[in-house]
Structure 1
Amino acid sequence: MKLWQRGGAATLFLLALFILWEVIVRWQEIPMWLLPAPSAIVTEGFQSLPDFIPHILATIELTLVGLCIGASIGFIIALMLHRLPIVNRMIYPLLILSQNVPTIVLAPLLIIWFGFGLLPKLIIISLVCFFPIVVATMDGLKNTDPALKHYMQMMGATKGQTFWKLELPYALPSLFSGLKIAATYSVMGAVISEWLGAKKGIGVFMTYAQSSFRIDRVFVAIFTIMLLSMALFAVIQLLERTLVKGRAKEV
């Protein structure tokens, strides 16, 4: 009930913002090429939907593949840093530095090195996704109850058994927090990669719209990106509730 109340309040607030936007645009007679009204954006969205759907599907496919790769790499790196303190001290500062390189600057280099195929796009998405997974997973593993860990060691549990039965269940909430952050970044990473060279995708659709001064189509693309991010976030949140509650019952 509380979730629905929060969702309803957010919906009403957004509706009020759109109404205010519509009133200001019509009252000030702002031209379409400068700032279209929400009603014009919705109309254009429905009219361009048949041509827009292939671009949406291409971005969804690229986002999901890149997110899976980035999350897997982040999870593996987090386990390695957790198990090997020496490697942690050497590699972790480099991981932090890697996040200070602007993606929009790195992307053209990846295109030069790897061409215009799928690989550079997946690298871009993986780069923006893996770091939240690494940080969140490491924090979750560190939060394991020391008393329970010591108890399992006293019972003769191996490191693998301790990880699967104790450390991983404790880390799941943190892992999903990082995964939700990475999910929102993955859509952005996919669009950025499409700007630099692709045949289909929301980024391509947006580029064409900007070059032809179709600002209404640009806003259609922006709102679609927001909806995709929210949908992916909601799916991961639903998965989190299912798995974390199940693990809690087992433990």
Structure 2
Amino acid sequence: MPSKPHPSASLARRPRAFLSALALTACVGALSGCDESPTGRKQVTLVPDAQMTALGEQSFEQLLKSQPLSDNPRLRRYVGCVAQALVDALPQPHGEWSIAVFDDPTPNAFALPGGKIGVHTGMLQVARTPDQLAAVIGHEIGHVLAEHANERLTQELAVQGGLMLVDLFAEEPGSFEHEAFRQALGLGAQYGLLLPYSRTHEREADRIGRDLMAKAGFDPRASVQLWQNMAAAGGGQPLAFLSTHPSHDNRMEELAAEMDQAVALYEEARAAGQKPGCRPP
């Protein structure tokens, strides 16, 4: 009976793949903590900014072509007014931002790298005032400012690098044991790395958005009311451990923390003349 090939023989046949996976995994580990988000949190963002901008622009263009846009000019002006006030409060240079209102009843909004903002008409049923809408859009801008998409993509690349190493070291690729171990590693990475980071991103975007809306002249206390509305509209939620979003109660509690500081920013902005005159349709 022929003997099993040594694992090194498999590696010898795929040196480039091995080196690529090893380099990626080592790179992420070595660079961990080298960058900081706007809140001072350590993070790793390895994808070039130009590539993230291109990805954001491409995704936005696809949405504009595939999703219906609102034909209500008053609603578009209102959302544009709130979004532009927030953009104007960003540190310079912030570039040009594009804003689109999609005719979709689901309460959703997003912001993409490259300065792209989208708001569903259904969000206006939950974010009922200009201040509450500012909390929504400010939160989404916060994701962009903190480069969460870049960080998440970097994490995904690291996971794929780890899975590649499992394949490379497997004595019997395709065997039941190998596939079971590979799935276990993927599941562990999802719930042990990717989801906790997503919850961190949500909390961080809440903080950044709350302070940004205050600097733009919107009352940051409306951010808590927004999530009270969300809780009333959303009903039951998945278990917090398996959710990429904090629970509504946790979210409101964390937003209320340091609210005095955010209100001080708001009052300072209002005294300086930052008084957005955005009127709901």
Q: Give the strand-richer structure, 1 or 2.
A: 2
Tell me if TM exceeds 0.5: no
Higher relative contact order (CA 8 A, sep 6+): 1
TM-score scaled by structure 2?
0.31
TM-score scaled by structure 1?
0.33
